[in-house]
Chains A and B, each alone.
Chain A
């Protein structure tokens, strides 16, 4: 790998990590904003109570439920952030690939929701799990493919991400309902080529779309 390419990969990997953590922290801020308003509402009600106006029990119940809901929401985001961060600091650790794919799809869902696009994940793994190292690179490769599909997606579309490890070596297939045209894929190809090389995998463009459009992208591991 040339120095220039190495620097590109380094920069893009950092950008990927930054983007994912920013997405999660933004969602956490949203949950905190709701908690902030619920706390403020409790303060308003307390002031009213001090002036002799009783607080309806149903309203307190509603606020308590709202607080619990937002705490659970925040907790889910923090868990995702924690898992994702460990994929970076435990770069060589062996991780089940289906779980890693499901995790990156879940994270990318925040991005897809902004375009009103649905991300579907299907896992067809047999009882024998596929474990891989460099899971951060696997997740980055899947994310880059999702981004290429998202660039060509429109409101209401669905992008399907399928993981399978039989028959043959494990693979991840990303299918956009409008296909993935070459123009959409082009900006992602340089980094994808490096990533699949690092993963000892290949990137296949499954034809079937209209014109120069690929119906799906497949990242296929060279080893079973």
Chain B
């Protein structure tokens, strides 16, 4: 089962989107603010973080920056009502995986979540291999 954290202050939007994603076999958690998202990733691992760009208080770009600072392996997909090229470039520079415009097509979003999951698995595998290599090197076997 895919695990997704949906970060958006628009409750009606997160309610319906999480219901639709759950019916497609995705486990969805919701955070209404950037701070809440940061707290959630400390407690649980997610295959993808779907993050709204414009939120009260800490905005999507700042939240993305802080999330990736805490865990560079996180797969962040930014969602915005106005996906400007400028914001897209900024998000990509920060390390976001993708940038989608609202209203988003659920099929497309599900495909992006699958890519995020695959990329995360590759990163985890790479980290494990590096760890094993380090252990082998330090033990001199």
Contacts and interface: CB of A to CB of B under 8 A. Distances in A.
Contacts of B19: 41
A114 B57 CA distance: 6
Nearest to B81: A29
Contact of A44 (B20, B81, B82): B20
Interface string A38-54: 10110010000000000
Contacts of B72: none
Interface in A1-49: 22, 25-27, 29-30, 32-38, 40-41, 44
A155 interface: yes
B13 interface: yes
B12 A25 contact: no
A29 B12 contact: no
A155 B33 CA distance: 13
A134 interface: no
A74 B88 CA distance: 26
A80 interface: no
Interface in B1-35: 10, 12-13, 16-17, 19-20, 23
B20 A40 contact: yes
Interface residues of A, number: 24
Contact of A30 (B13, B16, B104): B13
Contacts of A44: 20, 23
B127 interface: no
Majority secondary structure of chain B interface residues (helix, strand, loop or mixed): loop
B102 interface: yes
A36 B10 CA distance: 14
A22 B56 CA distance: 16
Given A40-B20, A41-B16, A70-B12, A33 B104 contact: yes
A113 B82 contact: no
Contact of B54 (A26, A38, A116): A26
Interface in A85-114: 113-114
- Most B C-beta atoms less than 10 A away, residue of A25, A26, A34, A155: A34
Interface of A: 22, 25-27, 29-30, 32-38, 40-41, 44, 66, 69-70, 113-116, 155
Given A37-B17, A114-B59, 7 more contacts: A29-B81, A29-B82, A30-B10, A34-B13, A36-B102, A38-B16, A44-B20
